[in-house]
Structure 1
Amino acid sequence: MNIISENKSKKIEIEENKSKILDIKKEIEEKKIKIEDKKKELSKVKDMAKGEKEKMEEYKELKKQFKKIENEIYSTIAPLKREMRKLEKIVTDKKLKKQIQEYIEFPVKTFLNDSDLNVFRESIPNIEKIEKNPRKREKILRLIEYVLDGNLEDKKKEYMAYKEKVDSFVITSREENKEGIIKRKIDNLQSEIIKSEEKIKNLETKNDLLQKEILKSEEDIIEILEKDLDVKVQE
């Protein structure tokens, strides 16, 4: 290959490498833009995740308070189960008997739906039949009167208010598994960002190699020209 052809070949090689470098730089810029977009999206999703976490914490606190009130109502009514079983055997009214059975099986639920409290009222005239022990009888009467005096009404209202809030949270959270979806979204975005950053590193490495190739080709051209000049001088 003569000097002209060799130089021409080297120049073509240089131009091709320069073109490749431009393509690489363009791809790097595109990747950087993509990374920035993904980072913005990731930030929004993380904010969403934070919001969902706060909602779940609020839900857990509501449920905790709700359960506390439920336990308070239960601990007041449940001790009367034994007496209610005795009362059930005494009363003849079918409706009242059914209500007593409901109190025995579902004390809190039945109390919340009970507007007249007839089971407690009916217990008073039958208290001597229900409990023979005077001391226990006095204790039971105090408990019945406590309920009849409306001391659990505030608890009932509080319970219903919390129940409404808890139920609304449950419905919202079940519309879709937001927590799981958000976590997968975060994982996917982070994975895409890492892959794009790795791709940029690979492109930059490739760019460096091409720059070295261009430099080498330019040095080769100079060397060829110098050799040609030496030959001409010697001639």
Structure 2
Amino acid sequence: MNYQTTFVRKPPSSDITTIHGEVSVNPPKLTYNLKTEPNRIYNFDVSAVSCAGSGPKTIATGECITDSEAPDYIEEPNIIDESPGSTRDLEIVLPNEDNGPISCVFVVVKNGPIDNNDLFDIVKLRKVSSEALTDETPNGKEYLAVAMKRYEFSETSITVKLGDEITSGCDVTDKSAKNSINHYDAKNWQLVIGNSYSTYVVTTSPNEEETVLFQQSSIEEFENGSSNPETGTID
């Protein structure tokens, strides 16, 4: 059994157009369940093989198109090593989109460690967005610091400045709520010198059957320097 796959939605960074594969099924097994990949269109042909060689190919009828999924993996954000201050540069690598397109990229920040990084869902997205829009710095709580639309990535990575106090936002479509489009805001609260922070990246992906598909990175922790009380300098 030979098969070839093409992307339903081709990732902008991919040069691959068609992927070929082959599966051997030995008699008397007459059925075979192929493990499919997300965001693919599959085409099959089948031929019998004996000691005399291969017989004529039969093109399989029907349609096999798989739905989109979230990325398999997201790299953790990278704090660029420079003098600490009220802002710090953060590098974000665009996740692989072979599984399907990404709609939003969010950066979540917390002043202090994150003990239990629970799986991200739409409820947590609402919560961290709400925390970001409080009237004062959400000390000790996770908040949405940066919200970016996918098209804002012109390269494979982007550098954002944590703590620049800019408000950003991105729209997420919730299919469970009759395809309603909800806007989520982020506020990039100024960083405090001498504090430690935790940050991670979250993406959203559209899907035909689910509401919103999330994927999140590992947590990056960093010290934002410390103030020397004797000299007044920043280490």
Q: TM-score, normalised by structure 1?
A: 0.16
Asked which structure has the greater RCO (Cα within 8 Å, sep 6+), the reply is 1
Tell which structure's C-alpha radius of gyration is larger.
1
Structure with bigger helix share is: 1
Q: Which has the higher strand share?
A: 2
TM-score of the pair, normalised by structure 2? 0.16
